[in-house]
Structure 1
Amino acid sequence: MSSETKPAEDGASFSSKVIGIVFVILLLDLLGFTLILPLLPSILDHYAQTGDVTYQSMQTLVDWFREAVGIPLEKKYNSVLFGGLIGSLFSLLQFLSSPVTGALSDHRGRRPLLILTTLGLMSSYAVWAVSRSFNMFLLFRVIGGICKGNVSLCTAIVADLPCPKARNRGMAMIGIAFSLGFTVGPLMGAYFAVSSRTPGDVFYQTPALLALAFSVADVLFIWLMLPETLTKDSKVSSAGSGDSWDLLSPLSLFLFAAVTRTKDPPSKERMKKLQLLGLVYFCYLFLFSGLEFTLSFLTHQRFQFTSMQQGKMFFFIGVVMAVIQGGYARRIKPGQHIGAVRVAILMLIPAFILIGLSRNMTVLYAGLALYAFAAALVVPCLSTLVSDHGSANQKGTVMGILRSLGALARALGPVVSSSVYWIASAQTCYLILAASFVIPLTLLSKTRRLKDE
């Protein structure tokens, strides 16, 4: 074996090890995070029945929005709206914290920041486990929103890998972790909430303790297994004077202004391409989260889906995503990602049309299959493309900003789409969303015309 081949094999072995570790870290994180999803309507009903003052105050805001857009007064719709409001709060906190977390990891390293954010999540789950008031429940969500930096940090770790092929495989494995987490986690949450319930017990306590256990296991796994992927030479020694504003200003985030704070800034062509990719990511998630949020309205209103039927529907979506990510997404070759994103977004147009016009299960699930196929490809591929930008000591900042733009899209998209859904109609909403995918497609076409320098 030649001396040149051995380092290459060692590098490939290291990359494979890191990817495997990142997969486990994210899976543990997402299993804990998704346990609450099927329980949220019941938790909100619980606080409504206890007459919690804070809950009643927030209910006034929900009622105002419901009346403003013409949503019928029904328990099911109220739960979705209230859950969406809490979800938007979580996303807005992610919008603020993700760039800062990513930038700090460029200074201090990925491993210490990942341990710190996971410890923060542990504390949030501990608050949830002991919460007996809506104030404590909101505190749990606020702490979780601020500390939920695992995804952006894990993508930064994968972005640190030197080989483009390894980065592509790593981003796909992150997508698989998401699919498995969002498929298995909610089922576990529902199961343990029902099976462990005893007279006088709070039904969400066992899922909360399980989430806490997942986060404890996550911290131990990170501590024992994860190597530091950011080399000492790559760490940023000190922040520039304008860094803080660049990480907090929405305009600066869309421009990726913090990426220019280096002795060797990227070329104008590369910065333009990075900004366009960020806009594609934001537009895609803005439109995508619109359907994701209103889908519960549609299936309940048109098909009278029960909570169990909705759970089976999301399970179907998760399985399709996992199959596509495991079988196809991780095999996409470097240089083919823009084409894969373009095909996926194009498939969302008939997906939204089929779902919006569906009157039977066959048409609905055909649309959902196309929807799941696109969901499996777009975020991993765009993450891979963005990870190629920025110097070695800026990967955390770049991926943190990307995560922040996605969080902002997820905070705004549901509000806009649900307003259109109820003011106009389901068909009109989904047809408008389908037509709007022309915007990210146009932006994506512009990135293909830009050459890296």
Structure 2
Amino acid sequence: MNKPLIVIFAAICLDAVGISLIFPILPRLLEDVTHTQNIAPYIGIMTALYAAMQFVFAPVLGALSDNLGRRPVLLISLAGAAINYVIMAFAPQLWMLLLGRAIAGLTSANISVATAYITDISPEDKRARRFGLFNAMFGIGFIVGPVLGGLLGDHWLRLPFIAAAVLNGCNLLLAFFVLPESRTPSRQKINLAVLNPLRPLRWVFSMKGLLPIVLVYFILSATGEAYGTCWALWGFDTFQWNGLWIGLSLGAFGVCQTLVQIFLPGPATKLLGERWAAITGIACACIALVTMAFANQGWIVFAIMPIFALAGIGTPAFQALATRQVDSASQGQFQGVLTSAVSLASIISPLAFSTFYFAVQKEWPGAIWLSVVVVFAIAVPLVLLGTRTAHPMQVANA
């Protein structure tokens, strides 16, 4: 593995640790700042604000990375995240916390620019494997982060935010001193139209072949949100799991999926091709979800965990497939649009799935997983019919 890949993977892992280590103590911080115990609305506002800013500005920063190069935009993003955590570490008032989250959302190009960077330096036949490693590094960060955040938060409520700022500072230094540019910046003057947040979205809608890709990305992200929204509720209502068992089940799933994404996307795409590897991942998820819908004993969930984790080959395969739908000059803009789709899913999906769950909670909690299967089913024809572009599409001037 070459040095740029190691730097990108390390940066993404550290970034995920920085994001997730604040999860265990954010409620207590909001209680401290707002002087109220009813902090659920404030958590919702902060989550929605971050996602909304990311939805609007990720395509802009992705397009800028096509013009300026990946490295400077990634440095701006990492600096913005570090500033956000410094503000949150010392913010005495709610509006300052909201300002920090807005800055973090505005500069949240880490994922889209890092994905474009990997696309720049990876041959097509290696992209699925590398995207699998990319997702695995992010997953490892999300496993380590909450544990570290909980330990630090017990010593001082603000300490996890300082740790997150330090981690992002290390990320910034690592990228500044070690990461080379993966793409020759354009020598032309930046077209100010690039800064229009609606321009990349208009571009996608004008290119009919790209819309199915974006919709599949939205669906895959939306279904992923369902697990975080409903898993704990379903475990308690169906099996009377306590916090320990809910944590063990999520931890087992995280470990299994990380192993799958490290070792299997490359061989799976070589054997099946990117399109059918993506379909296979969706099929494995649907088999596991149907089993969970009808499960009446907790051990069944752990028994099907390997099948559930095999769904992890689908996303890297589809990411590799998506990169071939546009040319190299527009990868940053395209990855920014895909990040916007993820952000939109993170706003809409929790509300939709939680509403459905509470509608079926008393009669049949497991029905929530059948609703996820229905959403997955919409993605199948989009993958099969919407990824047949023979030649990468060029950037539209509009």
Q: Same fold (TM over 0.5)?
A: yes
Q: How does 1:38-49 map to 2 (within 5 A)?
A: 38-47=24-33
Amino acid at match of 1:445: L
Q: Give yes or no for the alignment of 1:433 onto 2:372.
A: yes
> What does 1:176-187 correspond to in 2, within 5 Å?
176-187=136-147
Partner SS, residue 382 of structure 2: helix
Pairing of 1:371-382 with structure 2 (within 5 A): 371-374=308-311, 376-382=312-318
Deviations 1:378-398 (A, max 9, x none): 332222112223222211111
Deviations 1:340-365 (A, max 9, x none): 11011112222222333333221223
Mapping of residues 346-385 of structure 1, within 5 Å: 346-374=283-311, 376-385=312-321
Which letter maps to 2:315? V
Question: Is structure 2 residue 220 aligned with structure 1 residue 284?
Answer: yes
| Structure-2 separation of matches of 1:333 and 1:379 | 11
Instruction: Write the distance in 2 (CA, Å) between the matches of 1:359 and 1:42.
Output: 35
Is the CA contact 1:291–1:417 (under 8 Å) kept in the aligned structure 2? no
Contact 1:348 1:371 in 2 (8 A): yes
Alignment partners' CA distance in 2, 1:237 and 1:366: 57
- 2:347 is aligned with 1:411: yes
Distance 1:339 1:91 in 2: 31
Aligned mates of 1:133, 1:241 — CA distance in 2: 36
User: Which residue of 323, 328, 341 maps to 2:278?
Assistant: 341
Which of 83, 89, 98 aligns to 1:123? It is 83
Which of 294, 298, 302 is residue 234 of structure 2 equivalent to? Answer: 298
Q: Indicate which of 251, 254, 258 corresponds to 1:322.
A: 258
Max Rg structure: 1
SS of residue matched to 1:37: coil
- Say if 1:88 and 1:298 are closer, same or farther in 2 by CA, change over 3 A: farther
TM-superposed CA distance for 1:421, in Å, is 0.7
Provide the C-alpha distance between the structure 1 equivalents of 2:95 and 2:223, rounded to a whole number of angstroms: 32
Tell me if the contact between 2:64 and 2:194 (Cα under 8 Å) persists in the aligned partners. no
CA separation in 1, counterparts of 2:267 and 2:233? 36
Q: What amino acid sits opposite 2:78 in the alignment?
A: T
2:8 aligns with: 22
Partner of 2:130: 170
Query: Distance in 2 between the 1:240 and 1:123 partners?
Result: 28
Q: CA deviation at 1:285?
A: 1.6
Q: 1:441 to 1:157 in 2, by over 3 A?
A: same
Structure 2 residue identity aligned to 1:29: D
| 1:229 partner SS | coil
- Partner deviation per Cα, 1:186-223 (whole Å, 9 max, x = no partner): 111112222xx2xxxxx331111111110111011001
Partner of residue 387, structure 1: 323
Q: Would the aligned equivalents of 1:30 and 1:181 in 2 still touch at CA under 8 Å? A: yes
The aligned residue for residue 218 of structure 1 is 171
Q: CA deviation at 1:176?
A: 1.6
Tell me which amino acid in the other structure corresponds to 1:20.
Answer: I
Q: Could you say what secondary structure the match of 2:326 adopts?
A: coil
Q: Aligned equivalents of 1:40 and 1:306: distance in 2? A: 22
After TM superposition, the structure 1 stretch with the greater mean CA deviation from structure 2, 163-172 or 405-414, is: 163-172
Q: Partners of 1:242 and 1:252 in 2: how far apart?
A: 12
Give the 3 Å change call, closer, same or farther, for CA 244–192 of structure 1 in structure 2: closer
Q: Write the distance in 2 (CA, Å) between the matches of 1:365 and 1:44.
A: 35
CA offsets per residue over residues 18-53 of structure 1, 9 Å max, x none?
Answer: 2112111111111111111233344445456x23xx
Structure 1 residues 162 and 370, CA, compared in 2 at 3 Å: closer, same or farther? Answer: closer
Q: Is the 8 A contact 2:59 2:337 kept in 1?
A: yes
For residues 156 and 450 of structure 1, do their structure 2 counterparts lie closer, same or farther at Cα, with a shift above 3 Å needed? closer
- Name 2:396's counterpart in structure 1: none
**Equivalent position to 1:313, from 221, 224, 249:** 249
Cα distance in 2 between the residues matched to 1:31 and 1:387: 27
Structure 1 SS opposite 2:275: helix
C-alpha distance in structure 2 between counterparts of 1:219 and 1:353, whole Å? 43
Partner of 1:188: 148
| SS of residue paired to 2:181 | coil
Amino acid at match of 2:170: A
Q: Is the 8 A contact 2:50 2:101 kept in 1?
A: yes
Seen in structure 2, the aligned counterparts of structure 1 residues 310 and 135 have a Cα distance that, compared at 3 Å, is farther
Partner SS for 1:217: helix
TM-score (norm: length of structure 2)? 0.88
Output the amino acid matched with 2:198: L
3-state SS of paired residue (2:25)? helix
Is residue 387–residue 395 contact of structure 1 (8 Å, CA) maintained in 2? yes
Q: 1:205 to 1:156 in 2, by over 3 A?
A: same
Q: Does 1:237 align with 2:176?
A: no
Q: Kindly tell me: are residues 168 and 327 of structure 1, through their superposed partners in 2, closer, same or farther at Cα, counting changes over 3 Å?
A: same
Distance in 2, matches of 1:39 and 1:355, equals: 31
Q: CA deviation at 1:311?
A: 3.2
Distance change >3 Å, CA 381–CA 37, structure 1 → 2: farther
Cα RMSD (Å) of the superposition? Answer: 2.6
Unpaired segments ≥5 residues, structure 1? 1-14, 63-81, 198-202, 258-270
**CA contact under 8 A between 2:51 and 2:105: conserved in structure 1?**
yes
